[in-house]
Chains A and B, each alone.
Chain A
Amino acid sequence: NAGVTQTPKFRILKIGQSMTLQCAQDMNHNYMYWYRQDPGMGLKLIYYSVGAGITDKGEVPNGYNVSRSTTEDFPLRLELAAPSQTSVYFCASGHFSNQPQHFGDGTRLSIL
């Protein structure tokens, strides 16, 4: 049972480049989430999904896009990378919103 798997673990991008952060879970969870964590800070919700085909914005959605075509996968897309998007990104999943979430190990992204 792999849990929540994020790839890549590290990435350096140039300003203006785009990339997709991958997230997959094998626990058949309905809810999936993307967070970003800046140094010394808590987690801020970017986007979340309550099931395949349903997504909604969190606190800090600008500059990001998501899709949820299957229960297992929830990729996060950065279209025009900016230095302000340098952060650690965590994906998480859960059966219901009112239940503890399982987190992936994170993707450390630097934009130079």
Chain B
Amino acid sequence: EDKVVQSPLSLVVHEGDTVTLNCSYEVTNFRSLLWYKQEKKAPTFLFMLTSSGIEKKSGRLSSILDKKELFSILNITATQTGDSAIYLCAVVFVGGGTSYGKLTFGQGTILTVHP
């Protein structure tokens, strides 16, 4: 069964700390992995990863994919209270008897950053 597992499920840190969020997956015909940030409403896109070992970076956030070990990490350095959110990992794969791509989300990591 195709699945995406995130860890930890929740994390509480103080401003200035560095955090690492994990996403592992088991899917057939992997296409890409995406990270989203969800605050009060809809998820907003952070990164899309398709190739192993190439780091994507945006300000204090960075992410990398390991297609051999089937996982990705999302790093946030010098955390701020505005980083408090649910971080969602999603994997695009082809399977289930169809040639169309499907997206499966992990359960998310709830990050709380205290001042």
Measured CB to CB, the residues of A under 8 A from B are: 33, 35, 40-45, 48, 50, 56, 58-59, 90, 96-101, 103-106
Q: A98-B101, A100-B34 provided; 4 other pairs, C-beta below 8 A? A: A35-B105, A48-B100, A58-B102, A98-B32
CB–CB B42/A104 < 8 A: yes
Interface of B is mostly: strand
On whether the beta carbons of A100 and B45 are closer than 8 Å, the reply is yes
A97 touches B31 (CB 8 A): yes
Which B residues are in CB contact (< 8 Å) with A44?
105
Which residues in B have their C-beta under 8 angstroms from that of A59? 104
CB distance from A76 to the nearest CB of B (A): 16
- Find out whether the CB atom of B88 lies under 8 angstroms from the CB atom of A43: yes
A40 touches B110 (CB 8 A): yes
B101 touches A97 (CB 8 A): yes
State the Cβ distance, A112 to closest chain B Cβ, in Å: 23
Q: Is B43 an interface residue (CB 8 A)?
A: yes
Question: Taking chain A's interface residues, is the majority helix, strand, or loop, or is none over half, making it mixed?
Answer: loop
B92 with A56: CB separation less than 8 A: no
Bound Cα distance A66, B103 (Å): 18
Q: How far is the CB of A37 from chain B (nearest CB, A)?
A: 9
How many Å lie between the Cα of A43 and that of B41 in the bound state?
13
Instruction: Give the residues in chain A near B34, CB-CB below 8 Å.
Output: 100
Q: Determine how close the nearest CB of chain A comes to the CB of B22; give it in whole angstroms.
A: 14
Residue of B6, B41, B100 near A97 (CB, 8 A) is: B100
For residue B58, CB closer than 8 A to chain A, the reply is: no
20 contacts between A and B (CB under 8 A): A41-B107, A42-B4, A42-B105, A43-B43, A43-B88, A43-B90, A45-B103, A45-B104, A48-B100, A48-B102, A58-B102, A59-B104, A90-B43, A97-B100, A97-B101, A100-B48, A103-B42, A103-B43, A104-B42, A106-B42
Q: Quick check: B104 and A97 within 8 Å, CB to CB?
A: no
Residues of A within 8 A of B102 (CB): 45, 48, 58, 97
> Measured between C-beta atoms, what is the minimum distance from A40 to chain B in Å?
7
